[in-house]
Structure 1
């Protein structure tokens, strides 16, 4: 797993949308979406639920979040 993708995931979750996260991290919204799709392919399941209200963690994403936070703090 790429730490940059995980950092972007955390930013998107904290802000609730790829659009807001893209403004913070300096990537396009489309670029962030592609990065998160790639990350989900790497882990083999959906990390996020996406809808017209933004994004939130999937149940599997919530289970993985403690490990992601620990990895990023190391």
Structure 2
């Protein structure tokens, strides 16, 4: 899944870990050569890449904005 914000583009992925799979939300500023930031979406016992990415999709849907300085803002007002 991809999601566009004013200053960032975000997308989901999954990664194999020692105990199964971890969902990832990756986001990058909309400027050439910018670094990619990663949020790990941990789902204990997740043994499938598709399920891990689905968990990341659900979490990305809850992100309402990413500020110009990279602060992630969720729909409930929580900011990382």
More strand by share: 2
When Rg is computed on C-alpha atoms for both structures, the one with the higher figure is: 2
* Structure having the larger proportion of residues in helix: 1
Q: Which has the higher contact order (CA 8 A, sep 6+)?
A: 1
TM-score normalized with structure 1 length: 0.33
TM-score normalized by the length of structure 2: 0.31
